[in-house]
């Protein structure tokens, strides 16, 4: 392939999304789950910016939404790490399988 | 194969392999390092796409901020058994199957037909290029910088509606206040507890 099209970027975003989703599902460490969330958000961001580049209609919107996603990811990481540290203080573990007190 | 294409494949391979390594590495510290490489590679992809400001923000906030938070979280909780948490072989098989199915579904649903060079006028004409000045004007509430191109991708025959000029001052303010509130809340949640019965 000689010319890089939109599909190549979307494929990269899809790969990051799948890796992140599997990371969220498989990791037993709570911080590993958080890393999966970051990967998913990055895949979405790649899609946003790629569409901003290849579709002149969304030239600004794509980048603006990518910036919003980055800020939201910062907020989410701060809160999630605070929760994980609290959980670690109370239970002395970060294994998400042991967080089952709310089981019905 | 010209320079741009080569650069894209190098960065894309780097990013994708790092993302896979985040998934498969069992050691949480190594996962964090691979995540660093993934985030850096994503910033490179943004630079390739001509989004300078987003790429710089990605480097500053993700690599400089979020990853430092994650590494601190790893260091504060990494004790003995929590550094490597093994996952059973059956779970690996199920996860790989589901992941490959999901990736296949996403691949066949790619829009296609976009295999073309993007409109190159935006890159060469400085007046129309999407630079950080236009982005700043949008965030300041100037709606005249929004491109007026017709919407594409509509079902055949339907007429494309005119676009309403919008700016992003209000969402920008909301997201700023949201970030402030969240950071105060995170500091409150993670504060050191005062132990009962201990004078301090």
Task: Quote the distance between the C-alpha of residue B93 and its chain's center.
Answer: 28
Of B51, B76, B115, the CB nearest to A63: B51
The complex's ipTM works out to: 0.91
* pLDDT of res. B127: 53
Percent of chain A with pLDDT over 70: 96
CA torsion, ordered B99, B104, B110, B114, to nearest 10 deg: 110
- pLDDT band at B75; cut points 50, 70, 90: confident
* pLDDT of res. B49: 87
Query: A63, A65, A90, A93: which to substitute to probe chain B, counting the most B Cβ within 10 Å?
Result: A63
Three-state SS for A80?
A: helix
Q: Is pLDDT of B20 > 60?
A: yes
Q: Tell me the chain B residues in contact with residue A37 when contact means C-beta distances shorter than 8 Å.
A: none
Average of per-residue pLDDT values in chain B: 81
Q: What is the pLDDT of residues B109-130, one digit of tens each?
A: 887 655 455 555 445 455 555 6
- pLDDT band at B200; cut points 50, 70, 90: very low
Chain A 29-58, CB below 8 Å of chain B: which residues? 29, 31-32, 34-35, 38-39, 42, 45-46, 49-50, 52-57
Q: Does B5 contact A1 at a Cβ distance shorter than 8 Å?
A: yes
Strand ranges (E), A61-103: none
Sorted by sequence, the CB contacts under 8 Å of residue A22 that are 6+ apart come out as A36, B23, B95, B98, B99
Nearest CA among A63, A76, A42 for reference residue B18: A42
- B52-67 mean pLDDT: 91
Query: Nearest C-alpha of chain A: how many angstroms from B156?
Result: 18
Query: B98, B115, B176: which to substitute to probe chain A, counting the most A Cβ within 10 Å?
Result: B115
> What is the distance between the alpha carbons of residues B142 and B123, in angstroms, rounded to a whole number?
22
Whether the CB of A22 is below 8 Å from some CB of chain B: the reply is yes
- pLDDT band at A1; cut points 50, 70, 90: very low
- pLDDT band at B154; cut points 50, 70, 90: low
Q: What is the pLDDT of residues B162-183, one digit of tens each?
A: 767 778 889 899 999 999 999 9
Model confidence, pTM: 0.86
């Amino acid at each position: 392939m000689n010319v890089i099209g939109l599909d190549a970027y979307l494929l990269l975003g899809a790969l990051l999304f799948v890796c992140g989703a599997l990371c969220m599902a498989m990791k037993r460490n709570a911080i590993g789950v958080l890393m999966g969330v970051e990967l998913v958000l990055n895949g979405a961001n790649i899609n946003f910016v790629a569409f901003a580049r290849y579709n002149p209609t969304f030239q600004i919107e794509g980048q603006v939404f990518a910036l919003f996603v980055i800020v939201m990811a910062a907020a989410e990481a701060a809160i999630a790490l605070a929760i994980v540290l609290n959980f670690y203080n109370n239970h002395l573990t970060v294994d998400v399988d042991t967080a089952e007190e709310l089981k019905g | 194969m010209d320079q741009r294409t080569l650069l894209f494949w190098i960065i894309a391979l780097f990013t994708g392999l790092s993302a896979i390594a985040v998934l498969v590495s069992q050691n949480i510290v190594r996962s964090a390092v691979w995540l660093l490489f993934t985030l850096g590679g994503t910033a490179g992809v943004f630079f390739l796409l001509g989004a300078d400001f987003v790429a710089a923000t990605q480097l500053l906030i993700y690599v400089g901020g979020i990853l430092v938070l994650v590494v601190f979280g790893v260091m504060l909780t990494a004790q003995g058994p929590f550094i490597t948490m093994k996952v059973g072989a059956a779970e690996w098989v199920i996860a790989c199957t589901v992941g490959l199915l999901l990736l296949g579904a996403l691949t066949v649903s790619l829009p296609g037909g976009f295999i073309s060079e993007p409109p190159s006028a935006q890159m060469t004409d400085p007046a129309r290029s999407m630079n950080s000045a236009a982005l700043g004007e949008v965030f300041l509430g100037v709606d005249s910088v929004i491109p007026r191109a017709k919407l594409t991708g509509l079902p055949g025959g339907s007429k494309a509606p005119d676009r309403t000029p919008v700016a992003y001052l209000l969402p920008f303010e909301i997201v700023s206040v949201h970030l402030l509130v969240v950071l105060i809340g995170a500091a409150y949640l993670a504060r050191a507890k005062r132990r009962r019965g201990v004078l301090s």
